[in-house]
């Protein structure tokens, strides 16, 4: 009975005791995603006009939405970076990261499928794109797939070290 | 069996992770995550705080970047940028075909286009077969903007094309810092531009906003790369070689597109 209870009391859902490294892995995932978002955000914020051109080049949004998306998106990335770095609302931030990455992958795949030759503008820029090849699109998609996997795992197991969020919200009394 | 329990409890008493007889935890096998939410409930702040943060960040970002983006109000338009879509014009108004190039003075492929296709452009212009419009845009960096502004300032003195040719002949690696104000003034002197007005406009960035606006309009026209060539209003990717340009111009002249 005590054994049973002890197993169920562990934070994992897989039935076994949670290894000590898992919260640290979640912390590493948080910091990785935070760094990527912060880098992407700052690069896009630094040149608002280039951000507009990069979004427009995907030819997915009506002109009226191009500017709000180009200017608002990097700040959403920055907010995600902040939440992940501090460790607040980790599950929400990780799920938001996964959703955003999924959208980016759809946009990149759509550009590739339509034969557009554009730089993704993922980390700023996104203007000139002579000689963009399948390899470039594939590389971007592989990178985003890796980040998406990290984000999904973090949303699934958001408990991490060096985070106030757990103590505030979901730690046992 | 309970070694983990006894090992953990003394070292981390405050967390109480493995306390077997916690009165608040159901012992009926309910999962911990689901139980955690029910045990305490989430305060509205915890749930909505991050969402509000995201929304506020996005709204503030749009407002901030809108203010930082180039002011549309004060655009000094160069009097000589008379192409149908803006841009500097070369050739007779009666020429039947309009060839437009969107170029960035820092772009190496534009420099290459200038060397390989430029002579054909000039021949077609001289023959009265095409009008050529060059749109100086700034995709690559601040030096692109400075160079385009300087070229328009040169245009004010009637020396746009001489300055244009010199910029492409004198290209440095992209964003290398080579195109300083002093360098742009020096290039001006090489084509006889010594007037205080030219120098003032290079220093002031008189046409910066016009170049920014032209760059944005180029992007709205589907220009994602430099050089991009349009023949009679249609993007002509084949025109990146001399033979391709001739083919496109002949087709346009014959087809009347």
Domain that holds residue A74: 25-158
Instruction: Enumerate the β-bridge partners of residue A122.
Output: A124
Alpha helices in A47-133 (DSSP H): 48-57, 63-86, 90-113
In a domain, A77, yes or no: yes
pLDDT score of A170: 45
- Quick check: B62 and A68 CB within 8 A? yes
**Residue pointed to by tokens 């979901």:** A170
Would you list the DSSP string of B114-125? HHHTHHHHHHHH
Mean per-residue pLDDT of chain B? 85
Q: Distance between alpha carbon B28 and the CA centroid of its chain, in Å?
A: 61
**d(C-alpha B146, C-alpha B134), whole Å:** 16
**d(C-alpha A166, C-alpha A25), whole Å:** 15
Chain B nearest-CA residue for A94:
B50
| List of E strands, B70-129 | 88-90, 97-103
Is the pTM higher than 0.80? The answer reads no
Q: B28: exposed, middle or buried (C-beta count within 10 Å: 0-12, 13-18, 19+)?
A: exposed
Any CB–CB contact under 8 A between A51 and chain B?
yes
Domain count, chain A: 1
Which of these, B159, B109, B142, lies nearest to B211 by C-alpha position? B142
pLDDT score of B42: 65
Q: Distance between alpha carbon A69 and the CA centroid of its chain, in Å?
A: 17
Q: Which residues of chain B have pLDDT under 50?
A: 1-39
Asked whether the beta carbons of B98 and B84 are under 8 A apart, the reply is yes
Domain parsing of chain B, residue ranges: 88-255
Any CB–CB contact under 8 A between A118 and chain B?
yes
Any CB–CB contact under 8 A between A75 and chain B?
yes
In a domain, A133, yes or no: yes
Report how many Cβ contacts below 8 Å link chain A to chain B: 151
What is the CATH topology of the domain spanning B88-255? Glutaredoxin (3.40.30)
What tens digit of pLDDT does each residue of B140-188 get? 889 999 999 999 999 999 999 999 999 999 999 989 999 999 999 999 9
- Quick check: B224 and A2 CB within 8 A? no
- Quick check: B29 and A8 CB within 8 A? yes
- Quick check: B61 and A67 CB within 8 A? no
In a domain, A29, yes or no: yes
pLDDT score of B245: 96
Chain A CB contacts of B175 under 8 Å are none
Chain A CB contacts of B54 under 8 Å are 76, 79-80, 96
Chain B nearest-CA residue for A130:
B225
Chain A nearest-CA residue for B209:
A49
In a domain, A9, yes or no: no
Any CB–CB contact under 8 A between A55 and chain B?
no
- Sheet-wide strand order for B130-136: B88-90, B130-136, B97-103, B228-231, B234-235
**d(C-alpha B142, C-alpha B249), whole Å:** 34
Per-position pLDDT tens, chain A of length 173: 444 444 444 444 555 566 888 899 999 999 999 999 999 999 999 989 889 999 998 999 999 999 999 999 999 999 999 999 999 999 999 999 999 999 999 999 999 999 887 878 887 765 445 566 788 899 999 999 999 999 999 999 999 988 885 454 444 33
In a domain, A15, yes or no: no
In a domain, A105, yes or no: yes
pLDDT score of B224: 84
pLDDT score of B225: 84
- Which candidate from A56, A80, A83 shows the least CB-CB separation from B219? A56
Which of these, A160, A163, A173, A169, lies nearest to B19 by C-alpha position? A173
- Which candidate from A17, A56, A72 shows the least CB-CB separation from B220? A56
Please report, for residues A44, B77, B155, the alpha-carbon distance to residue B158 in angstroms, rounded to integers and kept in the order given.
Answer: 38, 15, 5
**Residue pointed to by tokens 């400075």:** B146
- Quick check: B2 and A57 CB within 8 A? no
In a domain, A17, yes or no: no
């Amino acid at each position: 009975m005590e054994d049973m209870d002890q197993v169920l009391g562990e934070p994992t859902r897989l039935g076994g005791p949670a290894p000590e490294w898992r919260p640290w892995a979640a912390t590493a995932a948080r910091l990785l995603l935070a760094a990527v978002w912060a880098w992407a955000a700052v690069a896009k914020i630094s040149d608002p006009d280039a951000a507009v051109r990069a979004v427009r080049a995907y030819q997915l949004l009506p002109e009226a939405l191009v500017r709000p998306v180009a200017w608002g998106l990097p700040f959403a990335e920055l907010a995600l970076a902040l939440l992940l770095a501090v460790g607040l609302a980790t599950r929400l931030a990780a799920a938001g990261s996964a959703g955003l990455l999924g959208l980016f992958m759809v946009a990149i795949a759509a550009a590739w499928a339509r034969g557009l030759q554009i730089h993704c503008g993922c980390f700023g820029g996104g203007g000139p794109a002579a000689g963009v090849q399948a390899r470039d699109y594939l590389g971007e998609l592989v990178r985003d797939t890796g980040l998406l996997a990290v984000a999904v795992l973090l949303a699934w197991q958001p408990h991490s070290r060096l985070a106030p969020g757990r103590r505030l919200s979901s730690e046992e009394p | 069996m309970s070694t983990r329990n006894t090992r953990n409890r003394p070292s981390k008493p405050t967390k109480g992770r493995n306390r077997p007889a916690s009165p608040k935890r159901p012992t009926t096998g309910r999962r911990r995550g689901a139980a955690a939410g029910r045990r305490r409930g989430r305060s509205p702040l915890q749930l909505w705080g991050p969402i509000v943060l995201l929304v506020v960040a996005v709204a503030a970002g749009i407002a901030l970047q809108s203010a930082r983006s180039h002011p549309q109000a004060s655009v000094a338009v160069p009097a000589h940028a008379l192409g149908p879509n803006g841009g500097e014009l070369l050739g007779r108004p009666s020429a039947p075909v309009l060839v437009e190039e969107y170029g960035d003075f820092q772009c190496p492929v534009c420099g290459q286009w200038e060397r390989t296709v430029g002579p054909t452009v000039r021949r077609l212009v001289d023959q009265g077969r095409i009008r050529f419009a060059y749109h100086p845009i700034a995709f690559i960096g601040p030096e692109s903007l400075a160079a385009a502004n300087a070229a328009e300032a040169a245009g004010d003195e009637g020396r746009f094309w001489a300055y244009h040719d010199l910029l492409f002949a004198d290209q440095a690696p992209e964003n290398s810092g080579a195109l300083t104000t002093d360098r742009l003034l020096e290039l001006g002197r090489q084509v006889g531009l010594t007037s205080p007005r030219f120098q003032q406009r290079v220093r002031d960035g008189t046409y910066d906003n016009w170049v920014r606006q032209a760059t944005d309009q180029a992007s709205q026209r589907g220009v994602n790369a430099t050089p991009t060539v349009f023949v009679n209003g249609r993007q002509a990717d084949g025109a990146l070689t001399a033979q391709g340009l001739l083919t496109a111009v002949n087709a346009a002249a014959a087809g009347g597109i």
